[in-house]
Amino acid sequence: MTDATPPVDDDPYLWLEDVTGERALGWVRARNAETAARLTGGERFDRVRDELREVLDSDNRIPYVRRRGEHLYNFWRDATHPRGLWRRTTLEEYRTAAPDWQVLIDVDALAEAEGENWVWQGAAVLRPGLRRCLVELSRGGADATVVREFDLERLEFVDGGFELPEAKSSVGWIDEDHIYVGTDFGEGSLTSSGYPRLVREWRRGTPLAEAPVVFEGKPEDVSVRAYHDATEGWERDFVRRNVDFYRSELYLRTADGLVRIDVPEDANASVHREWLLVRTRTPWGEYPAGALLAARLDGFLAGERAMTVLFEPDAHTSLDYYAWTRNHLVLGTLSDVKTRLRVLTPADGGWRDEPLAGVPEVGSVDLVGTDPHEGDEFFLDVTGFTEPSKLVRGVVGGQLETLRQAPAFFDSTGLVAEQFFATSADGTRIPYFVVGAHENRPGPTLLTGYGGFEVSQTPYYSGMTGRGWLARGGTYVLANIRGGGEYGPDWHNQAIKANRHRVYEDFAAVAADLVERGITTPERLGIQGGSNGGLLTGVMLTRYPGLFGAVVSQVPLLDMRRYHKLLAGASWMAEYGDPDDPADWAYLSRYSPYHNVHSGRKYPPALFVTSTRDDRVHPAHARKMVARMREQGHDVGYYENIEGGHGAAADNAQLAFKWALVFEFLWERLAGDQRR
């Protein structure tokens, strides 16, 4: 189907879009049984599953923390608590070998008491008192959550407190008696993407239906939300209207109404104390795409437009992230996909710019926490493909302190991490990382990537990949293809909508380069990706089948004709295009995997994995693709976890099982190593 006229919905597998329909779930259970019979029960599967569970449940993992006042908060899962504990401790305790944790919520106990399959989704703590929080719990790991108010002093849910039924809500504290709420208020209250279109200010003890509307977005928007900035001395309120995935409007709420902060819709604006920061996605006057700019908010609102350039990209360096401490701005940049950190400080009418001293130059450094309300503390996660993570604490201007060191979950002796560059079809150099032992080349190789939504793929340590793949002699490859953000917004903008073919050409170039370098062969090269990465591997299956020996597609988009009609799909039209527009369908139809798999063609073996409870990417994408491939007689497997949300697993047992299926499939297909 390649004509430019959108077809009528004559899809014979539309019935598989009925998520929990009896017929559809009967089909799912039959496919699950077939896949389990084929891939499980062997000695290797059992061993890999148990080893992965050991990694996930290890007591020696780093308990990552976020500071709220005097406490460090952590959410923890292990073998005894598969659904998890929300808990807290102090920095002094955290420095000890065995911290004394105060358990706030035992999700396993709560689930058992209430007969619900609760999965933790986070909590918003009220500032400045830190006495209350709004807890979000989902059934089976879905994006939709219930919201309940919890007392952090009495350690109990507040009887008659703020509470919302299951929905894709947004909530935030204003003060102890008021919150902002965006939720499903009934017909017309959600956008076409399924997110809140209205935001209300809800006062304690009053009916939610009577809460005044603060802002109303358009039905075609992605979402709207409001939030309160509780910074002492700078208290104020904002509303953000998300027009599409990359365009938004930010408003300051004043006594006279909403005042728009007049920056380009595709720029990201944020406020800290007196400072307005603007991150550009496309050129804005004299300022290039990918820059970070600063101005005093009061002056900007008064019409002043002179801004200070805090960061400007070049051909090799882009801005990865930034975050405030109380008095400083920490920047994380990528230089050919390697992390570098700097500290910027407002001083003497300008900004002082210095390297963040003491940070090791390894694969990547992620800023996992700052507290802009309290002080200049920060937490870093320092990691690499063969270097287990370290949690490092620092205070700007002081020495770094390693608080926690993760254990080595696999033997990395002889493993090396290298960076290479492939040349794509249009001549663009595409970086990628290769991890493995030279003596195993050419051999079984697992290539992964993402290529979308300006998401950067950086080096990281994975006990799962290490145990399931590297330690067994496999080679692992991470591709930094366009569509991501590794070289700033232009790296992404080059590959959206009609230019999406560049994502797939880049990935194909990496695959070909791996063979040319002697790292692997097409028969021993497998690929894996999830969500947008599942679309990536689905396209590679149908457009470049001769490059691969096995394909894994997880929680994928695959039907690009109907993706915008399924769950949150409409929110991604800024990335992919509108299938109802004949011009957009003309290019979407050329790569939509569901419309480009045909009988009589030879495809590598494929495994599709998804979740019934994924309310972001509809499970019907994978269901329908597999049904069509089965009808055409292709070698295809399918597994759908009944729980799990977009991560396709609700607890560590399910996660270990899912990944053991994937690794078993890959080893069988790429090493010719059958389990029996």
**Is 335 among the catalytic positions?**
no
> What mean pLDDT is predicted for residues 167-174?
97
> What mean pLDDT is predicted for residues 231-257?
96
Please choose, from the candidates 345, 321, 322, 325, the residue with its C-alpha nearest in 3D space to the C-alpha of residue 395. 325
Enter the tokens of residue 225: 């939300």
pLDDT tens per residue across span 472-513: 999 999 999 999 999 999 999 999 999 999 999 999 999 999
pLDDT tens per residue across span 623-655: 999 999 999 999 999 999 976 555 655 688 999
676 has pLDDT over 80: no
The whole-number pLDDT of residue 645 equals: 55
The whole-number pLDDT of residue 195 equals: 95
Phi/psi for 517 (5° steps) reads -80, -5
| C-alpha separations of 403 from 60, 96, 119 in Å | 13, 9, 28
> Average per-residue pLDDT in the chain?
94
**Residues 291-329, buried b or exposed e (16+ Cβ, 10 A)?**
bbbbbbbeebbeeeeebeebbebeeebbbbebbbbbebb
* Catalytic, out of 595, 618, 634, 646: 646
Residue 355, class by beta-carbon neighbours within 10 Å (0-12 exposed, 13-18 middle, 19+ buried)?
exposed
pLDDT tier for residue 674 given thresholds of 50, 70 and 90: low
Q: Please tell me which residue, 103 or 651, carries the higher pLDDT value.
A: 103
> What mean pLDDT is predicted for residues 271-298?
97
Q: Options 3.40.50.1240, 3.10.105.10, 3.40.50.1820, 3.40.250.10; which CATH number does 14-53+409-671 get?
A: 3.40.50.1820
CA 294/CA 279 separation, integer angstroms: 9
Enter the tokens of residue 126: 């009220």
Enter the tokens of residue 228: 């309160």
CB within 8 Å of 466: residues ≥ 6 apart = 409, 410, 412
The radius of gyration of the chain's CA atoms, rounded to the nearest angstrom, is 25
Q: Where are the domains of the chain?
A: 14-53+409-671, 272-313, 318-408
**Percent of the chain clearing pLDDT 90 (strictly above):** 92
Please choose, from the candidates 539, 540, 552, the residue with its C-alpha nearest in 3D space to the C-alpha of residue 669. 552
pLDDT tier for residue 9 given thresholds of 50, 70 and 90: low
**Is 531 among the catalytic positions?**
yes
CA 183/CA 168 separation, integer angstroms: 6
Query: DSSP labels for 501-520?
Result: HHHHHHHHHHHHHHHHTTS-
* Catalytic, out of 170, 248, 318, 531: 531
Residue 642, class by beta-carbon neighbours within 10 Å (0-12 exposed, 13-18 middle, 19+ buried)?
middle
pLDDT tens per residue across span 576-602: 999 999 999 999 999 999 999 999 999
pLDDT tens per residue across span 402-445: 999 999 999 999 999 999 999 999 999 999 999 999 999 999 99
> What mean pLDDT is predicted for residues 543-553?
98
DSSP code of residue 567: G
